[in-house]
A and B are shown apart, each in its own frame.
Chain A
Amino acid sequence: MTEEKKKQDQTQKPLEANPQAAITDAEKADIRTPLSEAIRKFKKQKNSVIALCFILFLVLVAVVGYYLVPFGINQYDYNAILQGPSGKHLFGTDEFGRDLFSRIVCGTRISLAVGLSAVTVGAICGTILGLLSGYYGGIIDSIIMRICDTLFAFPGIILAIAIVAVLGSGLYNVVIAVAVFSTPTFARLVRSRTLALKEAVFVQAAKSMGASDMRILFKHILPGAIPEIIVQYTMSVGTSILTASSLSFLGMGAQPPTPEWGLLLSNGRNYLLESAHITLFPGLAIFFTVLSFNIFGDGLRDALDPKLTD
Chain B
Amino acid sequence: MEEKIQGKNILEIKDLHTYFFMDDTVVKSVDGVDIELKKGATLGIVGESGSGKSVTALSVMGLLMGTRGKVVEGNILLDGKDIVHISEEEKRKLRGNQISMIFQEPMTSLNPVMTIGHQIMEGLLEHENISKEEAYNKALEALRLTGVPRVEKMMKEYPFQLSGGQRQRVMIAMALVCKPKILIADEPTTALDVTIQAQILDLMNNLKKEIGTSTLFITHDLGVVAEVCDDVVVMYCGRVVEKGDVNSIFYETAHPYTKGLLASIPHLGEKSQTLTTIPGNVPNPKYMPAGCKFSPRCSYATEQCKNEEPPFFDMGNGHLSKCWLCAKKGGQA
Contacts and interface: CB of A to CB of B under 8 A. Distances in A.
Query: Do any CB atoms of chain A lie under 8 A from CB atoms of chain B in the complex?
Result: yes
Interface residue range, chain A: 10 to 19
Nearest to B305: A15
A23 B283 CA distance: 8
A10 interface: no
A27 B287 contact: yes
Nearest to B306: A14
A22 B281 CA distance: 7
A175 B46 CA distance: 65
Given A24-B287, A27-B284, A17 B301 contact: yes
A102 to B, nearest CB: 46
Contacts of A22: 280-281, 283, 289, 296-297
Q: Summarize B's interface: helix, strand, loop or mixed.
A: loop
A310 B26 CA distance: 12
Contact of A17 (B280, B284, B302): B280
Interface in A296-310: 310
Contacts of B289: 22
A15 B23 CA distance: 35
Interface string B278-304: 011101101101000000111101110
B22 interface: yes
Contacts of A209: none
Nearest to A19: B280
A31 interface: no
A18 B306 CA distance: 13
Interface in B252-310: 279-281, 283-284, 286-287, 289, 296-299, 301-303, 306
A121 interface: no
Contact of B296 (A21, A26, A27, A310): A21
A21 B296 CA distance: 7
Nearest to B300: A17
B277 to A, nearest CB: 10
A22 B296 CA distance: 6
A246 to B, nearest CB: 39
Interface centre among B281, B287, B303 (most CB of A within 10 A): B287
Contacts of B280: 17-19, 22
Nearest to A30: B286
Nearest to B295: A17
A17 B287 contact: no
Given A26-B287, A27-B287, A19 B301 contact: no
Contacts of B283: 22
B300 to A, nearest CB: 9
B196 to A, nearest CB: 31
Interface centre among A15, A21, A27 (most CB of B within 10 A): A15
Contacts of A18: 280, 296
Interface in A1-48: 14-15, 17-19, 21-24, 26-27
A17 to B, nearest CB: 5
B281 A19 contact: yes
B157 to A, nearest CB: 31
Nearest to B279: A19
A24 B299 CA distance: 19
Contacts of B279: 17, 19
A23 B288 CA distance: 10
Nearest to A20: B280
A190 B299 CA distance: 54
A310 B299 contact: no
Given A22-B280, A22-B281, A17 B23 contact: no
B99 to A, nearest CB: 30
Contact of B297 (A14, A17, A26): A17
A310 B301 contact: no
A227 to B, nearest CB: 23
B298 A17 contact: yes
Task: Tell which of B284, B303, B306 has the most Cβ of chain A within 10 Å.
Answer: B284
Contacts of A14: 306
Contacts of A15: 301-303
A24 B22 CA distance: 21
A270 B283 CA distance: 72
A26 B25 CA distance: 14
B281 A310 contact: no
Contacts of B298: 17
22 contacts: A15-B301, A15-B302, A17-B296, A17-B299, A17-B301, A18-B280, A18-B296, A19-B279, A19-B280, A19-B281, A21-B296, A22-B280, A22-B289, A22-B296, A22-B297, A23-B281, A24-B287, A26-B286, A26-B287, A27-B284, A27-B286, A310-B23
Interface of A: 14-15, 17-19, 21-24, 26-27, 310
Given A17-B301, A22-B289, A22-B297, 19 more contacts: A14-B306, A15-B301, A15-B302, A15-B303, A17-B279, A17-B298, A17-B299, A18-B280, A19-B279, A19-B280, A19-B297, A22-B280, A22-B296, A23-B281, A24-B287, A26-B286, A27-B287, A310-B22, A310-B23
